Amino acid sequence: MADDIEIDTDDLERRMDGALTALRHEFGSLRTGRASASLVEPVQVEAYGQMTPINQLGTVNVPEPRMVTINVWDKGLVGKVEKAIRESGLGINPQTNGTIIMLPIPELNEERRRDLTKVAAQYAESARVAIRNVRRDGMDMVKKAKTDGMSEDDQKFWHDAIQDMTDRHIGLVDKALEAKQAEIMQV
């Protein structure tokens, strides 16, 4: 009868984990004064008639703590890759040596660090909103199950389970934000 109604918490958990993964990816693209290959991931280059990520056009390496190098495989695309990096808003001035593009990562000043912590906070808030949207979907499932005859005790159980999952994921977002802000402010 109505006792076999269950809420798919695995799906809700997976979607909340997806929001955390997206947050970590966005945090990886924030420049912190240290070189990281993920710094150039969001940059797209017009190549072969379509927009292509840099890591599909060359090898991205981090040979030094303050240097990212891109060894472009197609000599004809070096100029396009360099132009895409200049126009990307990363604030990095590429230097070309044959097919190798070097990206020296400059020190961040205090004002830029504060701006980056605000951007990180915006990314974290977007992740929180995504998690709360998943929570809302879960609560809607419980409401629908109520109309299908779910008992009040079961409703309370699922409400609490979904809320605990939400609280845990929001806590993980807060921890990730705290760590990223500490990394950005570290001189």
Query: Could you give the C-alpha distances from 12 to 33, 138, 144, in angstroms and in order?
Result: 36, 7, 16
pLDDT at position 2 is 44
Q: Which CATH architecture has domain 9-27+109-185?
A: Orthogonal Bundle (1.10)
**Residues ≥6 apart with Cβ < 8 Å to 102:** 67, 68, 69, 94, 95, 96
Give per-residue pLDDT as tens, 35-89. 777 778 878 898 888 988 888 899 999 888 888 999 999 899 999 999 988 887 7
**Any idea which of 10-19, 47-56, 164-173 has the lowest mean pLDDT?**
47-56
Q: What is the pLDDT of residues 79-122, one digit of tens each?
A: 999 998 888 777 788 999 988 999 888 777 888 788 888 888 99
CATH topology of domain 34-104: Gyrase A; domain 2 (3.30.1360)
| Boundaries of every domain in the chain | 9-27+109-185, 34-104
Residue 139 confidence (pLDDT): 93
Q: How many CB atoms lie within 10 A of CB 187?
A: 7
